[in-house]
Structure 1
Amino acid sequence: MPPEHVLVPLDGSPLAEDALEEALTAFESRITVLNVITPLDSHMSEGGVVEPGEDRLESARERAERLADHATDQAAAMDRTVETVVETGDPAETILDYVDAHDVDHVVMGSHGQDRRAVVRRLLGTVATKVVGEAPVTVTVVR
């Protein structure tokens, strides 16, 4: 049975954009695009870290809104619509919480795990790894 609600975490990376394209192409269902702003006291995110302070947080929110607008435009180019959401927190935990709270039944996300540098692979691949390991729904990872 096809999913009714697909979540696409979007961090501005090319693989995340590929994940959105995959979701828009593969599923006729409702699609929500989620961008997570990560405070400095959180774990490393795939999209970056925001130091404490209103100026930096506001800058991160503006970037997140630009990403949401870009996702909306990408969907419109395919005659589709998407819902966009911006949350603040640990990326993996926020994605998992969103899945639980909003009746998401499929996640499509990019992975940075192909990076050849071990430290970058370890830090930047952990979000997808945690979501795959803990999500109560099917997760498609786009590479």
Structure 2
Amino acid sequence: MADPTRVLVPTFGRPREDEALAYALEAYPDAEVIVLAVVTPIGTPLSEGGVLERDDERTARARDRAAELLESVDAGAATDRVRIEVREGRPANVIPTYASDEGVDHVVMYGHGTETSGLVRRLLGRTVATTVVERTDRPVTVLG
């Protein structure tokens, strides 16, 4: 399999997303890397909690969060091949749809909650990473 030319790294405000971005930049040095900042709708379990914020404020905050993520990995010269996109919706829905619609070759994400026990997963529900793997037809690297 050839190296991907377009790699998607989703971010929705969870810990260790910087590790996924750093991995994508290092593992695929010739690929365009798209940092997808997902703005979770208000009232969903992953919502940022900005009930009184307007949508444009939440979108701006998501874009800023993605830019800070890029700065945190010290991407250096690699920033010329990184693009930030913002979409609203549930991450488990937005990520596979974006990957398919935008011609992404590979998805790299941190497996939030993959280390939890079966009992905890049954109580809290499926992880976003698990759902993305099942819903996308693109290869997905889940770091954990």
Q: Which residue of 2 aligns with 1:114?
A: 115
CA contact (8 A) 1:92 1:128 kept: yes
TM-score of the pair, normalised by structure 1: 0.81
Amino acid at match of 1:38: T
CA contact (8 A) 1:33 1:84 kept: yes
TM-score of the pair, normalised by structure 2: 0.80
Distance 1:86 1:120, change over 3 A: farther
SS at match of 2:71: helix
Which residues of structure 2 form unaligned runs of 5+? none
Deviation string 1:40-95 (CA, Å, 9 cap, x unpaired) is 355x33xx355665x25344323212212113324653421210011101111111
Q: Which residue of 1 aligns with 2:100?
A: 100
Deviation string 1:20-47 (CA, Å, 9 cap, x unpaired) is 11101100200000011111355x33xx
Q: Which residue of 1 aligns with 2:59?
A: 61
Q: Which residue of 1 aligns with 2:36?
A: 34
SS at match of 1:104: coil
Distance 1:17 1:127, change over 3 A: same
Instruction: Say what the alpha-carbon RMSD is for the aligned residues.
Output: 2.6
**1:1-143 counterparts in 2 under 5 A?**
1-28=2-29, 29-40=31-42, 42=44, 44-45=45-46, 48-50=47-49, 55=53, 57-74=55-72, 77-81=75-79, 82-112=82-112, 113-115=114-116, 118=120, 122-123=124-125, 125-143=126-144
Which residues of structure 1 form unaligned runs of 5+? none
Q: What is the rounded CA distance, in whole Å, between the counterparts of 1:133 and 1:119 in structure 2?
A: 16
* Number of residue pairs aligned between Structure 1 and Structure 2: 138
CA contact (8 A) 2:16 2:110 kept: yes
Amino acid at match of 2:128: V
Deviation string 1:83-112 (CA, Å, 9 cap, x unpaired) is 001110111111111011111010000111
Once the two structures are aligned, what percentage of the paired residues are identical? Answer: 33
Distance 1:106 1:129, change over 3 A: same
Amino acid at match of 2:36: L
